[in-house]
């Protein structure tokens, strides 16, 4: 009989990809709140994660064998404008989940972010001290520490900028594909660098971290340090559209509530040595295009 894996944020961009892979080996319980779960084979659970009593009751009922916590308010601008409201889900809930996993002594995987760094001294390894410049990064750094304090066996997986396809969930790569395919221009930063990875590869990395019983922090970044502008140029080539549709902009050209670090590239050599192998950007884009066609053709949301 398959063991039970509890995945929070199952209706989100990463959660959808993670559930699709996890159901191959696990009995997956997918937690959502306001949006439905669109994954075959997943037991769907509606749950307010910020309600401790509701969360504890769910743990007692499900008795999971492992937990992967992906749920968060992951939009930096939203966190910057609503810090107290987003703290509940981004800091308090992860600490509660770590405590419940500690009680059961089960694997606990947490998804953090490269935005725990200020972007001034890349590339960042697992031992680099966090120094976030936005509220979202602060919240994730606080959650990391709170979880490790409650349950030192927690696997804290810092993730990069992610792109990919997810049924019912939006992300910048699919939006960019639609815009360029329609002949619309897109504005992309030339001076903001990340080590992006596709969501399916990251999902494989999360399951690998669980299988390998990783304790503490590990980075699951992609292999290429690149700007969004260069990512756009790669996509334009694959779509056979004019690169003139990719409009270069600087960070200072666009005002946003949350400050944007210039370069939060991750050193993920520790994960690579463990067997993590993210797709290169071109191959990942090709996989996204295939999924968009397959799911749209079968009635899925593009």
pLDDT score, position 33: 84
Q: Which two tokens stand for residue 177?
A: 């594909």
pLDDT score, position 231: 96
pLDDT score, position 296: 65
pLDDT score, position 167: 81
Residues pairing with 193 in the sheet: 227, 263
Q: Is 66 helix (H, G, I), strand (E, B) or coil?
A: strand
pLDDT score, position 292: 86
pLDDT score, position 1: 86
pLDDT score, position 293: 82
* CB-CB neighbours of 14 under 10 Å: 27
Q: What is the total residue count of the chain?
A: 302
| CA–CA distance, 298 with 37 (Å, rounded to integer) | 17
Domains, the chain, in order of start with CATH, read: 4-170+197-222+266-279 (3.40.50.720)
Q: Is 88 helix (H, G, I), strand (E, B) or coil?
A: helix
CB 219 within 8 A of CB 266: yes
Q: What is the DSSP string of 172-215?
A: HHHHHHHHHHTT--EEEESS-EE--EEHHHHHHHHHHHHHTT--
pLDDT score, position 301: 38
Place of tokens 């401790």: 52
Please name the residues in contact with 216: beta carbons below 8 A apart, sequence gap of 6 or more: 126, 148, 152, 154, 155, 156
pTM above 0.85, yes or no: yes
Q: Which of 16, 126, 142 is nearest to 71 (CA)?
A: 16
Helix (H) or strand (E) run with residue 222 in it: none
Taking the chain (302 residues) in runs of 10, the rounded mean pLDDT of each run is 95 94 96 81 94 97 98 97 98 98 98 98 98 98 98 98 85 89 96 97 98 98 97 96 96 96 98 98 94 62 36
């Amino acid at each position: 009989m398959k063991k039970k894996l509890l995945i929070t944020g199952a209706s989100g961009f990463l959660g959808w990809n993670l559930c699709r892979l996890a159901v191959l080996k696990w009995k997956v319980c997918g937690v959502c709140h306001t949006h439905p779960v669109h994954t075959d084979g997943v037991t769907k659970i509606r749950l307010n994660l910020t309600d401790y009593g509701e969360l504890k009751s769910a743990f007692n009922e499900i008795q999971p064998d492992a937990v992967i916590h992906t749920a968060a308010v992951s939009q930096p601008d939203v966190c910057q404008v609503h810090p107290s409201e987003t703290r509940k889900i981004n800091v308090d809930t992860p600490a509660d989940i770590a405590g419940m996993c500690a009680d059961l002594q089960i694997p606990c995987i947490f998804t953090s972010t490269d935005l725990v760094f200020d972007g001034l001294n890349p590339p960042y390894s697992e031992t680099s001290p966090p120094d976030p410049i936005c509220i979202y990064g602060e919240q994730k750094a606080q959650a990391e520490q709170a979880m490790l304090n409650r349950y030192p066996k927690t696997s804290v997986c810092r993730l990069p900028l992610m792109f990919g396809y997810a049924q019912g969930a939006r992300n910048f790569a699919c939006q960019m594909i639609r815009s360029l395919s329609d002949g619309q221009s897109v504005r992309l930063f030339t001076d903001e660098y990340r080590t992006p990875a596709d969501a399916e590869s990251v999902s494989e990395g999360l399951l690998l971290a669980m299988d390998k019983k990783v304790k503490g922090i590990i980075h699951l970044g992609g292999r290429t340090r690149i700007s969004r502008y260069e990512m756009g140029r790669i996509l334009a080539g694959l779509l056979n559209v004019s690169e003139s549709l990719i409009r270069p902009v600087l960070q200072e050209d666009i005002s946003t509530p949350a400050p944007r670090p210039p370069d939060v590239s991750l050193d993920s050599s520790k994960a690579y040595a463990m067997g993590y192998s993210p797709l290169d950007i071109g191959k990942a884009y090709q996989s996204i295009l295939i999924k968009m066609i397959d799911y749209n053709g079968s009635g899925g949301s593009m």
